[in-house]
């Protein structure tokens, strides 16, 4: 599923996070985002990404408004942990996880659905 997200949305550039929720009982997080579909001439869609078996969820303020409109999202799978860093270290040629990121999620499983195309 993660490869499908990357194929369709890349690093999820110039997107907007509309909603974030976390359910303690099921240890899941959901994010609703407005982002461009690379496979469809970059037409914007609203998608919901569901993070299951959350290992780490960081959401810090102040200045949180910038993290809700990420320029790019760093996505990585390492040691069976999936990372979405919405506030990564950005270089012209690369992205990497920011240890001081204000918004990131680490989990074991990710799925997504298109809410509005």
What are the DSSP calls for 42-98, one per residue? TEEEEEEEEEEEEEEEEE--SSHHHHTS-S--EEEEETTEEEEESS-EE-SS-EE--
pTM of the model: 0.92
C-alpha span between 89 and 57 (Å, rounded): 18
Residues 54-96: pLDDT tens digits? 999 999 876 656 668 888 999 999 999 999 999 999 888 889 9
**Band (38; pLDDT cuts 50, 70, 90):** very high
pLDDT 10s digits, 16-25: 999 999 999 9
Is there a contact between 15 and 69 (Cβ–Cβ < 8 Å)?
Answer: yes
Q: Is the pLDDT of residue 9 over 90?
A: yes
For the chain, domain boundaries: 2-116
Q: What is the pLDDT of residue 16?
A: 92
Average of per-residue pLDDT values in the chain: 93
């Amino acid at each position: 599923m993660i490869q499908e997200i990357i194929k369709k949305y890349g690093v999820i550039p110039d997107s907007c996070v509309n909603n974030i929720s976390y359910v303690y009982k099921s240890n899941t997080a959901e994010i609703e985002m407005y982002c461009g579909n690379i496979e469809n001439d970059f037409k914007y869609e609203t998608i919901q990404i569901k993070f299951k078996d959350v290992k780490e969820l960081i959401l810090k303020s102040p200045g949180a408004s910038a993290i809700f409109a990420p320029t790019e999202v760093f996505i990585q799978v390492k040691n069976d942990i999936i990372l979405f860093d919405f506030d990564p270290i950005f270089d012209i040629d690369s992205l990497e996880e920011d240890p001081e990121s204000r918004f990131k999620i680490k989990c074991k499983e990710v799925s997504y659905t298109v809410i509005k195309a």
